[in-house]
Protein backbone atom coordinates (compact mmCIF):
# COMPACT_ATOMS: atom_id res chain seq x y z
CA UNK A 1 0.00 0.00 0.00
CA UNK A 2 2.67 2.42 0.98
CA UNK A 3 4.85 1.43 -1.90
CA UNK A 4 1.99 1.89 -4.33
CA UNK A 5 1.38 5.42 -3.08
CA UNK A 6 5.06 6.18 -3.33
CA UNK A 7 5.16 4.98 -6.94
CA UNK A 8 2.20 7.13 -7.85
CA UNK A 9 3.86 10.11 -6.29
CA UNK A 10 7.00 9.43 -8.32
CA UNK A 11 5.24 8.97 -11.59
CA UNK A 12 4.98 12.60 -12.67
CA UNK A 13 8.64 13.12 -11.83
CA UNK A 14 9.62 10.25 -14.10
CA UNK A 15 7.52 11.67 -16.93
CA UNK A 16 9.05 15.10 -16.48
CA UNK A 17 12.52 13.66 -16.72
CA UNK A 18 11.66 11.70 -19.85
CA UNK A 19 10.31 14.73 -21.77
CA UNK A 20 12.18 18.04 -21.39
CA UNK A 21 9.88 20.86 -20.40
CA UNK A 22 8.19 22.27 -23.50
CA UNK A 23 7.89 25.55 -21.63
CA UNK A 24 11.67 25.85 -21.40
CA UNK A 25 12.28 24.74 -24.97
CA UNK A 26 9.88 27.28 -26.47
CA UNK A 27 10.68 30.16 -24.16
CA UNK A 28 10.29 33.46 -25.99
CA UNK A 29 10.33 37.11 -25.08
CA UNK A 30 8.07 39.54 -26.94
CA UNK A 31 9.64 42.84 -27.96
CA UNK A 32 8.84 45.56 -30.47
CA UNK A 33 11.46 46.17 -33.12
CA UNK A 34 11.05 49.58 -34.73
CA UNK A 35 12.77 50.76 -37.91
CA UNK A 36 12.68 54.38 -39.05
CA UNK A 37 14.05 55.74 -42.33
CA UNK A 38 14.25 59.32 -43.51
CA UNK A 39 14.16 58.82 -47.28
CA UNK A 40 15.56 62.27 -48.05
CA UNK A 41 18.58 62.29 -45.72
CA UNK A 42 18.96 58.48 -45.51
CA UNK A 43 19.09 58.75 -41.71
CA UNK A 44 17.94 55.45 -40.23
CA UNK A 45 17.38 53.89 -36.82
CA UNK A 46 16.53 50.57 -35.20
CA UNK A 47 15.12 50.48 -31.69
CA UNK A 48 14.14 47.49 -29.57
CA UNK A 49 11.35 48.23 -27.07
CA UNK A 50 9.95 46.09 -24.31
CA UNK A 51 6.37 44.95 -24.79
CA UNK A 52 4.96 47.74 -22.59
CA UNK A 53 6.70 50.34 -24.72
CA UNK A 54 8.33 51.77 -21.60
CA UNK A 55 12.00 50.85 -22.11
CA UNK A 56 14.48 50.80 -24.97
CA UNK A 57 16.51 47.57 -24.89
CA UNK A 58 18.66 48.08 -27.98
CA UNK A 59 19.42 50.83 -30.43
CA UNK A 60 21.35 51.59 -33.59
CA UNK A 61 21.49 54.52 -36.04
CA UNK A 62 21.56 52.21 -39.07
CA UNK A 63 19.53 49.41 -40.68
CA UNK A 64 21.47 46.86 -38.64
CA UNK A 65 21.79 46.32 -34.89
CA UNK A 66 24.68 44.03 -34.00
CA UNK A 67 26.01 45.32 -30.70
CA UNK A 68 25.65 44.04 -27.15
CA UNK A 69 23.22 41.16 -26.80
CA UNK A 70 22.63 41.25 -30.57
CA UNK A 71 26.27 40.58 -31.50
CA UNK A 72 25.63 36.90 -32.26
CA UNK A 73 22.12 37.45 -33.67
CA UNK A 74 22.22 40.75 -35.55
CA UNK A 75 18.97 42.43 -36.51
CA UNK A 76 18.81 43.69 -40.09
CA UNK A 77 16.07 45.36 -42.13
CA UNK A 78 16.09 44.91 -45.92
CA UNK A 79 13.35 47.07 -47.33
CA UNK A 80 12.38 48.41 -50.73
CA UNK A 81 11.74 52.13 -50.28
CA UNK A 82 10.11 52.27 -53.72
CA UNK A 83 7.49 49.74 -52.59
CA UNK A 84 6.57 51.66 -49.44
CA UNK A 85 8.94 49.71 -47.21
CA UNK A 86 8.00 46.15 -48.15
CA UNK A 87 10.78 43.71 -47.31
CA UNK A 88 12.31 41.53 -44.66
CA UNK A 89 13.55 41.56 -41.10
CA UNK A 90 16.41 39.19 -40.34
CA UNK A 91 17.27 38.20 -36.76
CA UNK A 92 20.31 35.96 -36.63
CA UNK A 93 19.58 33.05 -38.97
CA UNK A 94 15.83 33.79 -39.26
CA UNK A 95 14.43 35.95 -42.04
CA UNK A 96 10.85 37.16 -41.65
CA UNK A 97 8.65 39.00 -44.12
CA UNK A 98 7.40 42.39 -42.92
CA UNK A 99 3.69 41.59 -42.68
CA UNK A 100 0.94 41.84 -40.08
CA UNK A 101 -0.11 38.18 -40.39
CA UNK A 102 2.15 35.91 -38.32
CA UNK A 103 1.37 32.98 -40.62
CA UNK A 104 2.66 34.87 -43.65
CA UNK A 105 5.60 36.64 -42.03
CA UNK A 106 7.06 33.54 -40.44
CA UNK A 107 6.13 34.48 -36.88
CA UNK A 108 6.23 38.25 -36.44
CA UNK A 109 3.46 40.86 -36.81
CA UNK A 110 4.30 44.24 -38.32
CA UNK A 111 2.59 47.51 -39.09
CA UNK A 112 4.18 50.14 -41.27
CA UNK A 113 3.66 53.65 -42.58
CA UNK A 114 5.27 55.12 -45.66
CA UNK A 115 5.27 58.75 -46.78
CA UNK A 116 7.32 60.43 -49.50
CA UNK A 117 9.74 61.56 -46.78
CA UNK A 118 9.79 58.71 -44.29
CA UNK A 119 9.19 55.02 -43.64
CA UNK A 120 8.41 53.59 -40.23
CA UNK A 121 8.04 49.86 -39.49
CA UNK A 122 7.06 48.37 -36.13
CA UNK A 123 7.08 44.62 -35.54
CA UNK A 124 6.01 42.55 -32.56
CA UNK A 125 8.70 39.86 -32.40
CA UNK A 126 8.95 36.83 -30.11
CA UNK A 127 12.69 36.62 -29.49
CA UNK A 128 13.74 33.01 -29.01
CA UNK A 129 16.90 31.07 -28.23
CA UNK A 130 19.73 32.98 -26.55
CA UNK A 131 18.01 36.33 -27.14
CA UNK A 132 14.98 35.21 -25.10
CA UNK A 133 17.11 34.66 -22.01
CA UNK A 134 19.79 37.30 -22.66
CA UNK A 135 20.18 40.13 -20.21
CA UNK A 136 18.60 43.05 -22.08
CA UNK A 137 19.20 45.99 -19.79
CA UNK A 138 17.10 49.10 -20.47
CA UNK A 139 19.10 51.94 -21.97
CA UNK A 140 18.90 55.40 -20.49
CA UNK A 141 16.87 57.29 -23.08
CA UNK A 142 18.61 60.55 -22.23
CA UNK A 143 21.94 59.05 -23.28
CA UNK A 144 20.67 58.06 -26.74
CA UNK A 145 21.69 60.48 -29.45
CA UNK A 146 18.97 61.16 -31.98
CA UNK A 147 19.62 59.42 -35.28
CA UNK A 148 17.73 62.13 -37.16
CA UNK A 149 18.68 65.64 -38.24
CA UNK A 150 15.02 66.70 -38.08
CA UNK A 151 12.05 65.40 -36.11
CA UNK A 152 10.51 62.16 -37.35
CA UNK A 153 6.93 62.96 -38.38
CA UNK A 154 5.56 59.40 -38.66
CA UNK A 155 6.34 58.62 -35.01
CA UNK A 156 3.35 60.60 -33.79
CA UNK A 157 1.21 59.25 -36.63
CA UNK A 158 1.95 55.65 -35.69
CA UNK A 159 1.32 56.09 -31.98
CA UNK A 160 -1.95 57.87 -32.70
CA UNK A 161 -3.13 55.03 -34.93
CA UNK A 162 -2.25 52.59 -32.15
CA UNK A 163 -5.07 54.04 -30.14
CA UNK A 164 -3.67 56.97 -28.19
CA UNK A 165 -5.85 59.41 -30.09
CA UNK A 166 -9.59 59.46 -30.45
CA UNK A 167 -10.71 59.44 -34.08
CA UNK A 168 -13.57 61.46 -35.39
CA UNK A 169 -16.18 59.04 -36.72
CA UNK A 170 -16.43 58.52 -40.45
CA UNK A 171 -20.08 59.62 -40.30
CA UNK A 172 -18.91 63.11 -39.33
CA UNK A 173 -17.34 63.51 -42.76
CA UNK A 174 -18.80 64.37 -46.11
CA UNK A 175 -17.34 63.67 -49.47
CA UNK A 176 -16.30 66.82 -51.27
CA UNK A 177 -18.26 67.90 -54.30
CA UNK A 178 -18.01 71.22 -56.07
CA UNK A 179 -21.55 72.36 -55.14
CA UNK A 180 -21.52 71.17 -51.58
CA UNK A 181 -18.51 71.85 -49.44
CA UNK A 182 -18.91 70.50 -45.95
CA UNK A 183 -16.69 71.39 -43.08
CA UNK A 184 -14.89 68.40 -41.72
CA UNK A 185 -14.54 67.46 -38.10
CA UNK A 186 -16.78 67.56 -35.08
CA UNK A 187 -15.24 70.80 -33.96
CA UNK A 188 -16.11 72.64 -37.17
CA UNK A 189 -18.34 75.60 -36.47
CA UNK A 190 -20.66 77.45 -38.78
CA UNK A 191 -20.80 81.21 -38.49
CA UNK A 192 -24.11 82.93 -38.92
CA UNK A 193 -24.12 85.44 -41.72
CA UNK A 194 -24.13 88.60 -39.65
CA UNK A 195 -22.77 91.65 -41.36
CA UNK A 196 -21.16 93.80 -38.71
CA UNK A 197 -19.63 96.35 -41.02
CA UNK A 198 -22.17 99.09 -40.74
CA UNK A 199 -24.47 99.34 -43.78
CA UNK A 200 -27.44 98.57 -41.58
CA UNK A 201 -26.47 101.38 -39.24
CA UNK A 202 -26.56 103.79 -42.14
CA UNK A 203 -29.90 102.46 -43.39
CA UNK A 204 -31.59 102.30 -40.03
CA UNK A 205 -30.00 105.46 -38.64
CA UNK A 206 -29.55 105.87 -34.94
CA UNK A 207 -32.12 103.16 -34.10
CA UNK A 208 -29.36 100.62 -34.64
CA UNK A 209 -27.34 102.35 -31.96
CA UNK A 210 -30.05 101.32 -29.52
CA UNK A 211 -30.47 97.73 -30.67
CA UNK A 212 -26.89 96.92 -31.75
CA UNK A 213 -24.41 99.57 -30.70
CA UNK A 214 -21.37 97.30 -30.96
CA UNK A 215 -19.46 95.69 -33.82
CA UNK A 216 -18.31 92.21 -32.94
CA UNK A 217 -15.20 90.72 -34.46
CA UNK A 218 -12.47 88.15 -33.93
CA UNK A 219 -8.86 89.26 -33.66
CA UNK A 220 -5.46 87.60 -33.46
CA UNK A 221 -3.84 87.66 -30.02
CA UNK A 222 -0.27 88.94 -30.29
CA UNK A 223 1.59 87.05 -33.02
CA UNK A 224 -1.03 84.28 -32.79
CA UNK A 225 1.53 81.78 -31.47
CA UNK A 226 1.23 79.75 -34.71
CA UNK A 227 1.73 75.97 -34.69
CA UNK A 228 1.34 73.27 -37.30
CA UNK A 229 -1.56 71.02 -36.22
CA UNK A 230 -2.37 68.86 -39.23
CA UNK A 231 -5.59 66.94 -39.68
CA UNK A 232 -5.08 63.31 -40.73
CA UNK A 233 -7.76 61.67 -42.88
CA UNK A 234 -8.04 58.12 -44.25
CA UNK A 235 -8.92 58.60 -47.93
CA UNK A 236 -9.58 55.00 -49.02
CA UNK A 237 -11.36 51.90 -47.89
CA UNK A 238 -8.95 49.32 -46.47
CA UNK A 239 -7.69 47.07 -49.26
CA UNK A 240 -6.23 43.57 -49.10
CA UNK A 241 -4.05 42.29 -51.91
CA UNK A 242 -4.79 38.78 -53.23
CA UNK A 243 -2.68 35.86 -51.92
CA UNK A 244 -0.39 35.62 -54.92
CA UNK A 245 -0.20 39.16 -56.25
CA UNK A 246 0.72 42.61 -55.15
CA UNK A 247 -1.82 45.38 -55.66
CA UNK A 248 -2.09 49.15 -55.36
CA UNK A 249 -4.48 51.84 -54.16
CA UNK A 250 -4.56 54.87 -56.44
CA UNK A 251 -6.80 57.85 -57.07
CA UNK A 252 -9.61 55.66 -58.43
CA UNK A 253 -9.91 53.92 -55.04
CA UNK A 254 -9.53 57.05 -52.91
CA UNK A 255 -11.81 59.99 -52.20
CA UNK A 256 -11.04 63.64 -51.78
CA UNK A 257 -12.45 65.24 -48.64
CA UNK A 258 -13.02 68.86 -47.85
CA UNK A 259 -11.23 69.92 -44.70
CA UNK A 260 -12.66 73.07 -43.17
CA UNK A 261 -11.41 75.32 -40.43
CA UNK A 262 -12.38 74.54 -36.87
CA UNK A 263 -12.10 76.33 -33.56
CA UNK A 264 -12.03 75.79 -29.83
CA UNK A 265 -15.10 78.00 -29.26
CA UNK A 266 -17.37 79.81 -31.66
CA UNK A 267 -15.60 82.83 -33.13
CA UNK A 268 -17.54 85.94 -34.17
CA UNK A 269 -16.01 85.38 -37.58
CA UNK A 270 -13.32 83.31 -39.27
CA UNK A 271 -10.05 85.18 -39.68
CA UNK A 272 -6.82 84.13 -41.34
CA UNK A 273 -4.86 85.93 -38.65
CA UNK A 274 -2.53 87.14 -41.39
CA UNK A 275 -1.32 83.60 -42.10
CA UNK A 276 -1.32 81.88 -45.50
CA UNK A 277 -4.39 79.81 -44.64
CA UNK A 278 -7.88 79.40 -46.06
CA UNK A 279 -11.31 78.43 -44.76
CA UNK A 280 -11.51 75.11 -46.53
CA UNK A 281 -9.41 72.92 -48.81
CA UNK A 282 -9.68 69.59 -50.61
CA UNK A 283 -7.40 66.78 -49.53
CA UNK A 284 -7.06 65.54 -53.11
CA UNK A 285 -6.34 61.85 -53.75
CA UNK A 286 -3.41 61.79 -56.18
CA UNK A 287 -1.21 59.20 -54.54
CA UNK A 288 -0.52 55.51 -55.00
CA UNK A 289 0.19 52.98 -52.26
CA UNK A 290 1.79 49.66 -53.21
CA UNK A 291 0.93 46.42 -51.43
CA UNK A 292 2.55 42.99 -51.35
CA UNK A 293 0.43 39.81 -51.47
CA UNK A 294 -2.11 39.82 -48.60
CA UNK A 295 -1.06 43.28 -47.39
CA UNK A 296 -3.93 45.12 -45.67
CA UNK A 297 -3.54 48.86 -46.22
CA UNK A 298 -5.06 52.27 -46.96
CA UNK A 299 -4.12 55.78 -48.17
CA UNK A 300 -4.08 58.64 -45.69
CA UNK A 301 -3.52 62.38 -46.04
CA UNK A 302 -1.83 64.66 -43.55
CA UNK A 303 -3.57 67.96 -44.30
CA UNK A 304 -1.36 70.85 -43.22
CA UNK A 305 -3.17 73.20 -40.87
CA UNK A 306 -2.08 76.17 -38.82
CA UNK A 307 -3.35 76.68 -35.28
CA UNK A 308 -3.37 80.30 -34.10
CA UNK A 309 -4.65 82.02 -31.01
CA UNK A 310 -7.48 84.54 -31.32
CA UNK A 311 -10.20 86.13 -29.19
CA UNK A 312 -13.61 87.62 -29.73
CA UNK A 313 -13.84 91.36 -29.19
CA UNK A 314 -16.07 94.38 -29.82
CA UNK A 315 -15.89 98.07 -30.48
CA UNK A 316 -18.54 100.75 -30.62
CA UNK A 317 -20.33 101.05 -33.95
CA UNK A 318 -19.25 104.26 -35.77
CA UNK A 319 -21.70 106.97 -34.81
CA UNK A 320 -22.87 105.00 -31.78
CA UNK A 321 -20.40 106.29 -29.23
CA UNK A 322 -16.99 105.04 -28.22
CA UNK A 323 -15.45 102.14 -26.37
CA UNK A 324 -14.10 98.66 -27.04
CA UNK A 325 -13.62 95.41 -25.15
CA UNK A 326 -12.82 91.73 -25.16
CA UNK A 327 -15.69 89.23 -25.34
CA UNK A 328 -14.00 85.86 -24.83
CA UNK A 329 -10.95 84.19 -23.41
CA UNK A 330 -8.21 83.29 -25.87
CA UNK A 331 -8.94 80.32 -28.11
CA UNK A 332 -7.46 78.53 -31.11
CA UNK A 333 -8.57 78.48 -34.75
CA UNK A 334 -7.27 75.67 -36.97
CA UNK A 335 -7.25 76.53 -40.67
CA UNK A 336 -5.93 74.60 -43.69
CA UNK A 337 -2.70 75.95 -45.13
CA UNK A 338 -2.91 77.51 -48.57
CA UNK A 339 -1.52 75.43 -51.47
CA UNK A 340 -1.47 72.29 -49.30
CA UNK A 341 1.71 73.51 -47.66
CA UNK A 342 3.22 71.07 -45.09
CA UNK A 343 0.77 68.37 -46.17
CA UNK A 344 1.59 64.93 -47.53
CA UNK A 345 0.03 61.58 -48.40
CA UNK A 346 1.04 58.39 -46.69
CA UNK A 347 0.30 54.67 -46.82
CA UNK A 348 -0.68 52.69 -43.72
CA UNK A 349 -0.24 48.90 -43.50
CA UNK A 350 -1.53 46.38 -40.97
CA UNK A 351 -4.86 45.63 -39.33
CA UNK A 352 -3.81 47.32 -36.11
CA UNK A 353 -3.24 50.62 -37.90
CA UNK A 354 -5.69 50.89 -40.79
CA UNK A 355 -9.03 52.51 -39.86
CA UNK A 356 -12.24 53.18 -41.80
CA UNK A 357 -12.53 55.50 -44.79
CA UNK A 358 -13.10 59.06 -43.61
CA UNK A 359 -11.71 58.48 -40.12
CA UNK A 360 -9.75 61.52 -39.11
CA UNK A 361 -7.96 63.14 -36.20
CA UNK A 362 -6.42 66.48 -35.37
CA UNK A 363 -2.80 66.47 -34.25
CA UNK A 364 -2.68 69.07 -31.49
CA UNK A 365 0.89 68.43 -30.34
CA UNK A 366 3.13 71.47 -29.99
CA UNK A 367 5.98 69.81 -31.90
CA UNK A 368 5.84 72.23 -34.84
CA UNK A 369 5.82 75.79 -33.48
CA UNK A 370 5.66 77.71 -36.74
CA UNK A 371 3.29 79.08 -39.35
CA UNK A 372 2.22 77.64 -42.72
CA UNK A 373 5.46 78.69 -44.42
CA UNK A 374 7.61 76.54 -42.10
CA UNK A 375 10.27 77.25 -39.49
Ligand X SMILES: *[C@@H]1O[C@H](CO)[C@@H](O)[C@H](O)[C@H]1NC(C)=O
Least Cβ distance, residue 292 to ligand X (angstroms): 9
21 scored as a contact of ligand X (CB under 6 A): no
Per CB under 6 A, 351 contacts ligand X: no
Provide the residue count of the chain. 375
Opening angle at CA 276, ends 272 and 278, nearest 5: 55
CB of 209 to ligand X, least distance (A): 17
Give me the sign of the Cα torsion angle 257, 258, 261, 267. Answer: negative
CB 101 → ligand X: shortest distance, Å? Answer: 5
With CB under 6 A as the contact rule, the residue among 41, 177, 186, 197 that binds ligand X is 197
Number of residues that bind ligand X (CB under 6 A): 12
195 binds ligand X (CB under 6 A): yes
Instruction: Closer to ligand X by CB, 104 or 134: give it.
Output: 104
Site residues for ligand X, window 115-174 (CB under 6 A)? none
Looking at residues 67 to 96 of the shown chain, list those that interact with ligand X (rule: CB under 6 A).
78-80, 87-88
Q: Could you tell me the CA-to-CA distances from 33 to 122, 124, 129 in Å, in that order?
A: 6, 7, 17
Q: Which of 64, 101, 248, 282 binds ligand X (CB under 6 A)?
A: 101
CB of 153 to ligand X, least distance (A): 23
Is residue 102 a contact point for ligand X (CB under 6 A)?
yes
> β-pairing, 331-336 with 231-234?
unpaired
Residue 297 Cβ vs ligand X, minimum distance, rounded to whole Å: 16
C-alpha closest to that of 170 among 302, 358, 298, 299: 358
Tell me: does residue 224 bind ligand X (CB under 6 A): no
Q: Which of 199, 244, 252, 322 binds ligand X (CB under 6 A)?
A: 199
Cβ-Cβ contacts under 8 Å for 65 (sequence gap 6 or more): 46, 48, 58, 59, 74, 75, 76
Question: At its nearest, how many Å lie between ligand X and the CB of residue 41?
Answer: 21
Q: In the complex with ligand X, which residue's Cβ is closer, 78 or 175?
A: 78
Count CA atoms closer than 13 A to 334's CA, side-chain side: 25
Beta strands in 8-129 (DSSP E): 29-38, 44-50, 56-60, 64-65, 75-80, 86-91, 94-97, 109-114, 118-127
- Choose between 164 and 242: whose C-beta lies nearer to ligand X: 242
| SS3 call for 202 | helix
What span, in angstroms and rounded, lies between the C-alpha atoms of 261 and 216?
20
- Kindly list the distances between the CA atom of residue 232 and the CA atoms of 116, 249, 314, 333, 343, in Å, as whole numbers in the listed order: 15, 18, 35, 17, 9
Would you call 61 exposed, middle or buried from its count of C-beta atoms within 10 A (0-12, 13-18, 19+)?
A: middle
Of 97 and 362, which CB lies nearer to ligand X in the complex structure?
A: 97
The minimum distance between CB 235 and ligand X, in angstroms, equals 26
Handedness of CA 126, 128, 130, 133 (dihedral sign): positive
68 vs 92, beta carbon nearer ligand X: 92
Beta carbon of residue 80, minimum distance to ligand X (angstroms, whole number): 4
109 or 128: CB nearest ligand X = 109
> Segment contacting ligand X (CB under 6 A): 158-166, 190-198, 342-350, 364-372?
190-198
Binding site for ligand X (CB under 6 A): 78-80, 87-88, 101-103, 195, 197-199
Amino acid sequence: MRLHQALLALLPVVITLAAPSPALERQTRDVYIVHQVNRLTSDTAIEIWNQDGTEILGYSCSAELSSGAFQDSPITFDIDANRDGAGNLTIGAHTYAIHDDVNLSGGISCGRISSPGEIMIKCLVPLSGDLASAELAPLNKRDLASCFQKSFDLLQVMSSLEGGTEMTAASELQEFTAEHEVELGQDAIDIEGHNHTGTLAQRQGTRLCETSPRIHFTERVGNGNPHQNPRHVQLSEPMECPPNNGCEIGHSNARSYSVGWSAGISPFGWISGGFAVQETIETGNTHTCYGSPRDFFAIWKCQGQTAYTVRNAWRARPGCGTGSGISSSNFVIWSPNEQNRQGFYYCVYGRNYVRAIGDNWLDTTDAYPWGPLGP
